[in-house]
Amino acid sequence: MQHEVSVCKIFSFDAAHQLIGHKGKCANVHGHTYRLEVVLKGRPVTEEGRSDEGFVADFGDIKALVKARIVDKLDHAFMAKGDEPVLETLQASGSKVAVLSFRTTAENLAGYIAYTLRQSGLPVYSVKLWETPTAWAEVLAADIPEHGPAYCMNGGCDL
Cβ at position 22, least distance to its own copies in Å: 5
Q: Look up 84 and say whether it is catalytic.
A: no
Dist. CA 146–CA 88, nearest whole Å: 33
Residue 159 makes contact with its own copies by CB under 8 A: no
Is the alpha carbon torsion for 130, 136, 140, 146 positive or negative?
negative
Please, which of residues 124-153 interact with its own copies by CB under 8 A?
Answer: 133-140, 143-145, 149-151, 153
Q: 4, 76, 88, 147: which is the annotated catalytic residue?
A: 76
Kind of pairing between the strands at 5-17 and 77-80: parallel
Cβ at position 29, least distance to its own copies in Å: 17
Residue 150: φ, ψ to 5°: -55, -40
Dist. CA 6–CA 44, nearest whole Å: 9
Q: Which is nearer to its own copies, 99 or 137 (CB)?
A: 137
Cα dist from 144 to 16, 54, 69, 87, whole Å: 25, 29, 18, 29
The 53-92 contact track toward its own copies, x by CB under 8 A, reads xxxx-xxx--------------------------------
Residue 8 makes contact with its own copies by CB under 8 A: yes
